[in-house]
Structure formats: structure tokens, C-alpha cells
Amino acid sequence: MRSDLVSTLPLVLDPEQSLPIPTQLTTQIRELVATRILSPGDHIPSTRGLAKQLGISRGSVVTAYDQLAAEGYIVTAHGSGTTINPSLHLLKPKELDTADIPREDAPANPFHLNLDPGVPDTSTLINSEWRASWREASSNPPAHRPAQGLPALRVEIAEHLRRMRGLITDPSRIIVTAGAREGLTLLLRTFDGPARIGVESPGYPSLRRVPQVLGHHIVDLPTDAEGLVVDDLPTDLDAVLITPSHQYPYGGSLPAARRTELVNWAEHTDTLLIEDDFDSELRYVGMPLPPLTALAAERTILLGTFSSVISPHISCGYLVAPSAFAAEMTELRGVLGQPVSAITQSAVANFLDSGALRRRTQRLRRVYRRRRATVQRVFDDIDDAELRPIKGGLHAVVICHRPADDVVAELNERGISVTALSQYWGGSSGAENGIVFGFGSHDDDTLDWALAEISDAIQV
């Protein structure tokens, strides 16, 4: 790599900062990209060169670069050095949202830490198995991209569901999607006219907004510690959007008896069940129950994604539908086009076929259990807050004595983003005073620092 092609990085590291050096590096390089000082395709120094420039260990730079590569910010090719991902403008990672770029009139913390719920740890994703999956897909790109998705990927998804969720399904009922929201959008576009869609309250905000955008009517449905309250459900709903395996954000799992009651109600009222299988693979307490699809295959649409166990940046998921729905959605997909590239589909199929995803999921469970234990240990000693049980997933819910909006604002000033629990309700009525934060995406040292800040801010 010619030295005159390498961009100079205006990085300033502070050894007195409580944030680890690799985290300071990744934060500042993301900021250089967000403010367009670094552009897609720009060459950046090698790990050895940057370590020498900054007077730090090469290992710190390697750790930072690995994290940035996993997030899609940088790519490395033999003989070409390291560059800002040339396709970054197409990926549109959340960190590049203009709302995240500090305004000139607002004080900005250069070490801002985003604790979005549900974001996975991608630092160990880029390994030999991942590279081999993409190398094979790139070397032998599929000649066609069927509307329903590559047959090889649909076969592997069916096998994945059998092994991981105890669900037997035919690949002909599987449609490849760009994620849960895109799958829900595809389904709702097949409805004739405005429909009445029941949604959990509280519930997953990004999914509950989709029906409204498409012109459907939202009906808030109450939940409790175990998930959707099935008693006295309205009888005039066209569909119910539900997260029975891991209700968001509290994490409850719908008991078997309540699942049976829900299926019987849906049969009696002719209501479609839309099952978001959110974070089902990441469970820490007890064994996960089979999806609702196993109880009512002809009345349930299953929305699945690989965001939590691979990365949200690959934008690859699936839905499992009754045969009639699958045929109608495939026809619509043929008109709209398949949004997931054939190479991405092929790479994910290779990754599944090799068994790498199962091995990765097992490793991630161990990592997340350790970080979950760290969160529990910190909040065990705080009298002014109550940590709700973390039975699965990648986020924690903390009920506060201090007003949650004040906690969120103070943490933002300290450089940490968390979410007020009230954001997950359809309305303000019934919302509890608390915060939600993710614990999966950052290394243990960074998490320790963040938890110390949260525990300090949360106390009255």
C-alpha cells in the first residue's frame, strides 16, 4: 500500500479516561466517518502503523479494527490494506444517522456510548468460518435470485428452526426477508383494506409502528410479567402481533396454558397470529417453549431474524407462513423484488450449513450470561432501583425511584445513551418509571464502566 494513499487520522487518546483505549479508538473513528472526515473507500493506517503513530500497543489497534470491521465500517483485503468500507453509504449504519451528529450549539461528549437494547456483540464474528462463507459465496455467485429466496438458504433455515426451535417446517413455507420489519411489511401489504392489528403494550416500538405507516389501525393489548394477557381479548381483530418467547421489554415467556388459550381464541375469532420470535435463541432461565407456529401452523406467521446471533447489519431474516399466505406473499415479492442480495443469502446459507452459527450461538450464550451476571451483581446493591428478571435477550429493565427522564438526561450528559421505559407503551397510561439498556454489544471493561455510571445516576 502506497503511503501517500493513506489518510491521516486526527486521533487524540486520553490515558486518564475510564474508557479503554480500543473503545476510544472505535468511537473516534466512527465520529470521523459520521462527520465525513473519512469517506467510503479512504485508506487508513495499518494496525502496526497506527500503533506506532499513537505510541500504543498494536493489540489495542487490532481490537478496535476488529470491532469496526464487524460493524461494517472498515474492510481489509490482502495487498490493498485497510479502507473505510466502500459500500458504507449503502449500509447506512445507525451510527451515521444525522441525528447522532452533534450540533455546533450543543455540548458533545466525544466518547459517547450507545447502549441500545438488543444490539449483539459482533467483535468475534469475523473469523475463518465467516470469511470462508463469504469467500465461497463471492466466488460462486448465484445466477438467479428467486423471489422467495435461495432454495439452499430456505433449506438451511428449516434445519436451523428444527435444531434451535424444535419446529418442523417445509422450506416451501419459508420466505427470505430483510428482517422482521420488512417481513411484517410484506405480510401487511397482502391485506385487503385497513385492518385492525392488536399489538402488545408495552411492546417492540419499531414493529408496532409498521402497521400504522401502512394505514392499518392499532389496538393496544395489555401484558403482564408472563406476556400477553389473553383474557378478554377483543373479538374484532384481524391479526395480533405477539412476542411469546421473549416479550419486549420485560422478557416474559408466554406459558403453555396461555398459548393454548390464545390459539383457541384465534381459531374461534378467525384471527391471524403474527409471531415475532425475538431473541428466542438467547435464553438464560429454563428451556424455551416451541413457537406458536408449532401449535397453529395454518393460523400463524412466524417472523425470524439473524440479527441477535449474527449481526443486524446483514439485514437477513425469514418468515414462515401457511401455504396460502406463502404463495400470496411470494407473488407480491415477485413484483416488489427480493431485497436481500443473492451473495448475502448464499453466505448465510454456507454459514448455517457449516454448523458455525450453532457454535457461535453457544459461545455468545456464555458471554451474555457472564455480562448478565455482572448487571445483576451491580444492581443487587442499589436500594433506589429494582432490576427486573433477565430471563433472556440482550437488555435490562430497571425500575427507578428517581424520574426516568432525569436519569436518561444525566446519563446522556455523561456520554451514555439509555432509553426511558415509557417509550415502549402505546400511550402514557400504565407506563412504569424506569430505564432500558443493552448489555450485549460492548466488552466487559466498557460494560463495567457504563454500569458504574448508570448506578450512580440512578440513585436519588
Matching fold, domains 131-357 and 358-458: no
Bridge partners, 77 (sequence order): 81
Query: What pLDDT was estimated at residue 89?
Result: 60
Are 281 and 309 contacting, i.e. CB atoms less than 8 angstroms apart? yes
Query: What pLDDT was estimated at residue 460?
Result: 65
- Please give the span between the terminal C-alpha atoms of the chain, in angstroms, as a whole number: 55
Q: What is the 3-state secondary structure (H, E, C) of 159-180?
A: HHHHHHHCCCCCHHHEEEECCH
Could you tell me the CA-to-CA distances from 442 to 120, 236, 438 in Å, in that order? 8, 44, 9
Could you tell me the CA-to-CA distances from 162 to 147, 275, 277, 331 in Å, in that order? 23, 17, 14, 26
Query: What pLDDT was estimated at residue 180?
Result: 93
49 C-beta neighbours (distance < 10 Å), count: 17
Residues 185 and 210: their CA atoms lie apart, in Å, by 7
Per-residue pLDDT of the chain (460 residues; tens, 9 = 90+): 455 467 778 888 887 777 888 889 999 999 888 888 888 888 888 888 888 888 888 888 988 898 888 878 888 876 678 888 887 764 443 443 434 434 444 344 445 788 988 888 888 888 899 999 999 999 999 989 999 999 999 999 999 999 888 899 999 999 999 999 999 999 999 998 899 999 998 888 888 899 999 999 999 999 988 899 999 899 999 999 999 988 888 888 888 899 999 999 999 999 999 999 877 778 877 666 788 999 999 999 999 999 989 988 899 999 999 998 999 999 999 999 999 999 999 999 999 999 999 999 989 999 999 999 999 999 988 888 999 999 888 999 999 999 999 999 999 998 899 999 998 886 656 788 999 999 998 888 889 999 999 999 998 6
Residues 34 and 93: their CA atoms lie apart, in Å, by 10
Residues 452 and 378: their CA atoms lie apart, in Å, by 8
Q: Using alpha carbons only, how large is the chain's radius of gyration in Å?
A: 23
**Fold for the domain defined by 3-108:** Arc Repressor Mutant, subunit A (1.10.10)
Query: What pLDDT was estimated at residue 368?
Result: 93
Q: Is 131-357 a domain of CATH 3.40.640.10? A: yes
Are 52 and 104 contacting, i.e. CB atoms less than 8 angstroms apart? no
Residues 458 and 407: their CA atoms lie apart, in Å, by 6
Enter the DSSP assignment of 424.
G
How many residues are recorded in the chain? 460
241 C-beta neighbours (distance < 10 Å), count: 27
Where in the chain are the domains?
A: 3-108, 131-357, 358-458
Are 184 and 329 contacting, i.e. CB atoms less than 8 angstroms apart? no
Q: Is 358-458 a domain of CATH 3.30.750.24? A: no
